[in-house]
Structure 1
Amino acid sequence: MTGQSPSPAASKDITPVQGMVASCSGAIITSLFVTPLDVVKIRLQAQKNPFPKGKCFVYCNGLMEHICVCENGNSKAWYKAPGHFSGTLDAFVKIVRYEGIKALWSGLPPTLVMAVPATVIYLTCYDQLYAALRLRMGTYAEEAPLLAGSIARVGTTTVISPLELMRTKLQSEKQTYRELTQCIRSAMETEGWLSLWRGLGPTLLRDVPFSAMYWYSYEKGKRLLCEHYNAREPTFSITFISGAVSGSIGSIVTLPFDVVKTRRQVELGELQAKNLSSGVSSSTFSVMSRIVALEGFRGLFAGFLPRLVKVAPACAIMISTYESGKDFFHKHNQEQRLRLQQTNA
């Protein structure tokens, strides 16, 4: 990697196993750090629209399910019911108070099970595609991150979509793995195997543009920072800043699709339990239309702050850890070769 033309891992002198270790370490560290923020984001997004004044109803937002009564008719007011969140900080406090601090890491096992293989597949595909596309795109080489990131994300998201669904269900409501298994089995009996890919459409609409914007911004930002600081190779701080800024831009633009994805995945099992008609369209844009009609345009940006607070450091930690891991193995291999040459000499 140089300041003028940072290269992907494929051009570094590291083995595939070393690349996997670098990506896995980044995935584990990132998951441990950002899972609480992800839990809060999903809880906020799963909340339902308020009911008219005096209405008595069973309130279920994924976190709780009990009878509530509306305290006033203000459509922007929430109910005086335990467990309802008025904001990010309120969600953190109430989750810890009513469920314990461990609840902030609910869904961590499937997150790790999903994050490790997904990260290996994603980063490996991106590095290989980026290296190949830069050679073939000629004068358009600067656009290579857009295409490489998009293709890598489509494949990865499709493979791990069922695990993403399980993680979302575990984070949106307090339940055991046995209850989750029963819920998934019931959904499969009713809707078939495709129910495991519920929310794949909005997930792709969220993740593919995000990946394209992220990698383009990251590679460009990294190159500009290297030139600004006259750095031959990107330092930890350069990759950290580039990752954070790029992640922030992508997360803001794609947030509405993240909200739709969460709503659709949280619905898994609820339709069967309530015997609701399946005649209501569940397409991405139909769900978006219903959210806007019931909650206004702001409903599409539910969980804005926790998503931004989560994605920016997550991207920064992931990419800087990954790049540092690649540099470590690259230098390690160079030292080994040098020692071997000295020994043979």
Structure 2
Amino acid sequence: MLLMPSFQILSELRCSPSCTRGIILGSEPICPPDCFQYKGTVDVFLKVVRQEGFGRLWRGTNAGLALAIPTVGIYLPCYDIFRNKIEDFTRSNAPGLTPYAPLVAGSVARSLACIACSPIELARTRMQAYKEFQPGVKPPGMWKTLLGVLSPHASSSQNVQNYRVLWTGVGAQLARDVPFSAICWSTLEPIRRKLLGLVAEDGDAASVLGANFAAGFVAGSLAAGVTCPLDVAKTRRQIEKDAQKAMRMTTRQTLVDILRYVFHIL
């Protein structure tokens, strides 16, 4: 059984000022345990709104936009370039490998995008995990969040290695996003070709849009279902407040700890 000091337990249970269910213990408002237990997506929405306000549902939007632009700018052009190059090469040299071009192209393109944009992903995750405890205190923005990640190492002379902390969780992110892209694109492309073949050349815009939507829905759902545990592992690593501990954490160990906890509560 894991035991924590009483002050640490109280710190973890501190209630935000806007929560209507908090109780006063000493000088601190404390949330009941069920405030931190989520039963589903709708339950998360309701508790975030109740505890922190409706506007907090958009926390991290600026970091999300800052992440989306370079990620898409790297990911999609690289995917098209790599897929075309691989398809041209395999048609001439190994026709049997041509169907695997989307899988390889998606994996490589996503790897490049993940590595380049990992610090912004870290900031976005930390911003969304931030819980407001003091009234009138504005949650930190993207740059302040990144500076907060670096600040424990600011006095060290190993400045180059200190910046590695900005890539905390990049291994778990690659373990999530690379299989996601591989599954998504290798599933989406053949489904889309099949559906567009059924629509035929005289299909209207709505039919083409429907075919693309259906292919994307099936491929995205399958990829998301397979890689969801890795997304949980990535988030656990990126919200870890102890930078040294976060650097020592591995994706495998994080997944083992999560599964152990799940089996324990079951």
Give TM-score scaled by structure 1 length. Answer: 0.60
Partner of 2:40: 87
Counterpart of 1:136? 89
In 2, distance between residues paired with 1:287 and 1:62? 25
1:67-125 superposed Cα distances (whole Å, 9 cap, x missing partner): x99xxxxxxxxx63545433221111121222222211110001101101110110000
Indicate whether 1:224 and 2:194 are aligned. Answer: yes
C-alpha contact (below 8 Å) 1:63/1:173 kept by paired residues? no
User: Paired residue for 2:256?
Assistant: 289
Shifted more, 85-94 versus 242-251: the winner is: 85-94
Alignment-mate amino acid for residue 244 of structure 1: F
* Contact map agreement 2:82 2:105 (CA 8 A) in 1: yes
Q: Following superposition of structure 1 onto structure 2, how do residues 118-129 of structure 1 map, counting pairs within 5 Å?
A: 118-129=71-82
Query: What runs of 5+ residues in structure 1 fail to find an aligned partner?
Result: 1-48, 70-78, 300-345
Aligned to 1:159: 116
- Is structure 2 residue 206 aligned with structure 1 residue 253? no
After the TM superposition, which residues 71-110 of structure 1 pair with which residues of structure 2 at under 5 Å, given as runs?
A: 80-82=33-35, 84-110=37-63
Task: Give RMSD over aligned pairs.
Answer: 3.5
Q: How many residues align?
A: 234
Which runs of structure 2 are paired with 1:1-150 in the superposition (5 Å)? 57-58=9-10, 60=12, 80-82=33-35, 84-138=37-91, 139=95, 140-150=97-107
Shift in Å at residue 59 of structure 1?
Answer: 5.5
Task: Report the Cα distance in structure 2 between the residues aligned to 1:124 and 1:271, rounded to whole angstroms.
Answer: 37
8 Å Cα contact 2:123/2:146 also seen in 1? no
Higher relative contact order (CA 8 A, sep 6+): 1
Counterpart of 1:214, as a letter, is C
Q: What amino acid is the match of 1:205?
A: A
Q: Could you say what secondary structure the match of 2:9 adopts?
A: strand
Change in Cα spacing, 1:230 to 1:197, as seen in structure 2 (3 Å) is: same
Equivalent residues in 2 for 1:146-295 (5 A)?
146-174=103-131, 175-177=139-141, 180-189=145-154, 192-231=162-201, 235-267=208-240, 270-271=241-242, 278=245, 281-295=248-262
Secondary structure at the counterpart of residue 33 of structure 2:
coil
SS of residue paired to 1:102: helix
Query: Residues 177-221 of structure 1: CA distance to partner in whole angstroms, max 9, x if unpaired?
Result: 276245222244377111000000011011101101111111111
Relative to structure 1, the CA distance from residue 179 to residue 123 in structure 2 (aligned partners, 3 Å threshold; closer, same or farther) is closer
Change (3 A) 1:291 1:133: same
Q: Does structure 2 conserve the Cα–Cα contact (< 8 Å) formed by 1:211 and 1:250?
A: yes
SS in 2 for 1:146: helix
For 1:119 and 1:155, the matched residues in 2 are separated by: 11
Deviation at 1:294, TM superposition (A): 2.4
Residues 115 and 297 of structure 1, relative CA distance in 2, 3 Å threshold: farther
3-state SS of 2:10 partner: strand
The residue type paired with residue 173 of structure 1 is: Y
Q: By how many angstroms is 1:238 displaced?
A: 1.0
Q: Unaligned stretches of 5+ in structure 2?
A: 17-21, 24-31, 132-138
In structure 2, give the amino acid aligned to 1:149.
Answer: G
CA deviation map 1:257-289 (0-9, x unaligned) = 11110000000xx226xxxx8499411111111
Tell whether the 8 Å contact from 1:146 to 1:212 is kept in structure 2 after alignment.
Answer: yes
Change over 3 Å in CA distance of 1:280–1:169 after alignment to 2: closer
Compute the displacement of 1:295 (Å). Answer: 2.6
Percent identity of the aligned residues? 31
Conserved in 1, the CA contact under 8 Å of 2:176 and 2:231? yes
Q: 1:261-340 counterparts in 2 under 5 A?
A: 261-267=234-240, 270-271=241-242, 278=245, 281-296=248-263
Change in CA separation of 1:117 and 1:280 when aligned onto 2, cut-off 3 Å: closer
Distance in 1 (CA, whole Å) between partners of 2:195 and 2:256 is 41
Instruction: Return the alpha-carbon distance in structure 2 between the equivalents of residues 257 and 157 of structure 1.
Output: 14
**In structure 1, C-alpha distance between the alignment counterparts of 2:251 and 2:130, rounded to whole Å:** 23
Match of 2:135 in 1: none
Tell me the CA shift for residue 255 of structure 1: 1.0
